[in-house]
Structure 1
Amino acid sequence: MPRLLPGFARLAPAALLLGLACQPPEAPKVYCPWEEGLTLAFEDPSQPQPQRSANRLQVRVAKSAIAPGPPDLIQVDVASTHGQMPMTFRQKDGGVSLVTDQGQVLSVSLPAGFPATTAWTERGTAFQVVGRATWDGAGLLPVTADPVGIWVESRPARGPRRRTLYLPNLGEVETREERAGAWVTVNRLVAYGFTTLPAIKRP
């Protein structure tokens, strides 16, 4: 085994640390659904049946970028027994915003830099990152899905506090509302899958 020159043994660990520091940072995770065809269903467990099933909400990713990797703009169809509504989201640097077809921001769900950005205010409601947690409903997700998400608490000027758990590549999977000193689940992901989309003409 070759012997290190005097002083080199002390420099080697420093060089290793410098090399690690020069590596490119990990790309921010996307905290919203973005894969084309991904279809998610949500229910309010606090509602009795059959109201709970009748009010089920379905979210399907209708269009995103063709190139590999998460796109900037994601078009989703939100459907219920009351009708269907298309929505467009923009994700960038961990943030997620609802935008118009012209790109105008209507509201910010998560700010750029999330979850490193731990506190923000949107339309009079204060938001605060509470911490990380493993979702107890992750059994319905594929084994490749990341079950560890970020809890975010919202405090509106009026009304109860809410806490929402966001998972990478899925976004909201559960929301709880404070009622009489207890946290009650009012929205929860209950189905995950992919559906065949109709042919889409791309620009």
Structure 2
Amino acid sequence: MKKLNISVIALAISLVFSTGVMAQGMSKKDYKADKEKIATEYKSAKAGCASLSGNANDICVAEAKGKEKVANAELEASYKPTRKTHYQARVAKAEADYTVANERCDDLAGNAKDVCVKEAKAAKTTAKADAKAQMKTSDANATANEKSTAARSEAKTEAADARKDAATDKLNAGYAVAKEKCDTLAGTAKDNCLNQAKRDFGK
């Protein structure tokens, strides 16, 4: 049985199909060309999954779709570089990584699978929380640069709140993983495990 750990879940799938995707300030012609290239490479990658069967095929297709979605999001962020499009690109990557990781969990069973799924969700929650905090911080700083000292002070507060929200989301996700791991135990050992998880995550 294949063991999936958090390092595998965190492993980034390839984000870019071509160097053109990362180009800043690209022309509409280049944008369309890259869009077509992404579509072509997705079809090719998906066709390559045909030789696989079962969950290996599911993982392969999920990887192909994930790469396509991330590449398209990266392309949009390059063509129309805004805080929102960069945020959407990071979210697309988090979702793609999660989908692939979740498919890999199907190779497992019982509590190992449950833990795997929780870890996949925790990794996604962490990535999305970080992306959201970064966008909110950037928005607050941009607004502050245009306004008074009072506004800059408010921006710092908003940025701090955003980071606090992100930390809370990540803490809750980590706690969910820790609790799931306790399910392999019973009696006092399980109680001790749960109590330790509560202490570790401030619950």
Which TM-score tier does this pair reach, normalised by the shorter chain?
under 0.3
Report which of the two has the higher share of helix: 2
Report which of the two has the higher share of strand: 1
Q: Which TM-score applies when normalising by structure 1? A: 0.23
